[in-house]
Amino acid sequence: MGLRAGERLVFVGGEMAFITSAPAGQSTVVRSAATPAQKGQGFKAAQALAKQKALEKKSLRYKLPLGELALFTQQLASLLNAGLPLVQCLEALQDQTEDPVFRIIIRDVRIDISAGNSFSSAVKKFPRAFNSLFTSMIEAGEASGALAEILSKVAVYFESTVKLTKKVKSAMTYPIAVIGLAVALVNVLLIFVIPVFAEMFADFGAKLPAPTQMLIDLSDFLKANFFYLLAAAGAAYWIFMRFISTPRGRRMKDLGLVRAPIFGSLVHKIALSRFCRTYATLMRSGVPILRTLEIVSSASNKVQIEDACVEIAKHVSQGGQVSDILAINTFFPPMMKHMVKAGEATGNVDGMMNKIADFYDTESEATVASLTSLIEPMLIVFLGVVVGGIVMAMFLPIFQLGAVAGGVQ
């Protein structure tokens, strides 16, 4: 690419361009020095750079799903057990990770470790990706020199938590889907189908049966105020979410969930299992008890356990036992109190906590199975009553067609 007569090479906006001299009063002609292929490559490079910067910015606040963290922990433990250096393990995991944001996080952690920092300090820079339990276990592993063994324990803990969560979610998917379908179907009937029957019945000029009239009035109200009701429901949901985000609202929500008639028992058992499993995993890995209670409190996501952990920490710091607080806290069942006390007597508290967690995991799975078998017939009855009631109310005047058409009250 050469210069033409009267042209000079300049840089405009970071790109090469040729400017042709022109007489006074005429515009200067600018000709780009880049070919169309080069322009396309530059545009793609700029897009890739912008995407990379966006991913790096997102990595600082990225919340890694627990399932991905469990897989990462298990793979890292396996590579370390195979004798590979930590930096090389992270490099291998970075290459095989499909999540682009998590890949950047692993890269930054690897670079930080290569610069001479500890693994625990590197992961602490991403608190939303690596939770407090993971970072504390890393610290314990670095202090004891058994990082691979402790990571294996953490991986087992994460996997059991993910397994139980998936079972609960799968059990809840069916009733939520059926209830959502029922709500949608009822709204379609009230807004689009009922008015057609109402116009037909209006021609009779007679008083309709009470169920039919109530249904028509409800349909008219819903049609006239549908968007207002939708806005009110959205506002109520927003207010409710804001309220339960406050300390008082969160406390009321947690107390209400545990006391709920159908799902309260399941919520209670899952909370107890998580408390025991987290406590046992941390204590077995050599984490100090006060730090263990702090992590258990934050991982529980239940105000009842948070309050208990505060009381246990105060009591233990004064030389007391964990079972002393469990014995006077009504949130913990008697069986759990006696097993923890027996574990303290034999010096095997973490082993007892693991057995309690296994027991409540089994109980939770049994509760989920029984709830699933109980909910299915209840939903079928619910759908039959709601939809069948609407159909019966609309066909009731037709059954009495002779009396209604004749004006008989």
Give residue-wise pLDDT tens across range 200-245.
777 766 677 888 888 888 888 888 888 888 899 999 999 999 998 8
What pLDDT shows up at residue 22? 54
What pLDDT shows up at residue 366? 86
Closest to 70 (Cα-Cα) out of 62, 78, 61: 78
Q: Is the pLDDT of residue 278 over 60?
A: yes
Q: Is the pLDDT of residue 117 over 70?
A: yes
List Cβ neighbours of 262 (8 Å cut-off, separation of 6 or more): 371
Summarize pLDDT for 1-55 with one digit per residue, the tens. Answer: 555 555 554 444 445 554 555 555 454 544 555 566 555 566 666 666 777 777 7
Q: Mean pLDDT across the stretch 256-272?
A: 87
Summarize pLDDT for 351-364 with one digit per residue, the tens. Answer: 899 899 889 888 88
Which domains are seen in the chain, by residue range?
Answer: 7-59 (no CATH), 66-159 (1.20.81.30), 185-409 (1.20.81.30)
CB atoms within 10 A of CB 382: 15
Amino acid at 22: A
Closest to 158 (Cα-Cα) out of 280, 73, 101: 73
Mean pLDDT of all residues belonging to the chain: 81
Closest to 409 (Cα-Cα) out of 204, 200, 194: 204
Is pTM beyond 0.75 here?
no
Measured CA to CA, the distance from residue 340 to residue 276 in angstroms comes to 10
CA distances for 173 relative to 177, 180, 371, 378, angstroms = 6, 11, 12, 15
What pLDDT shows up at residue 399? 73
Summarize pLDDT for 163-207 with one digit per residue, the tens. Answer: 888 888 887 787 888 888 888 888 888 888 888 888 877 776 667
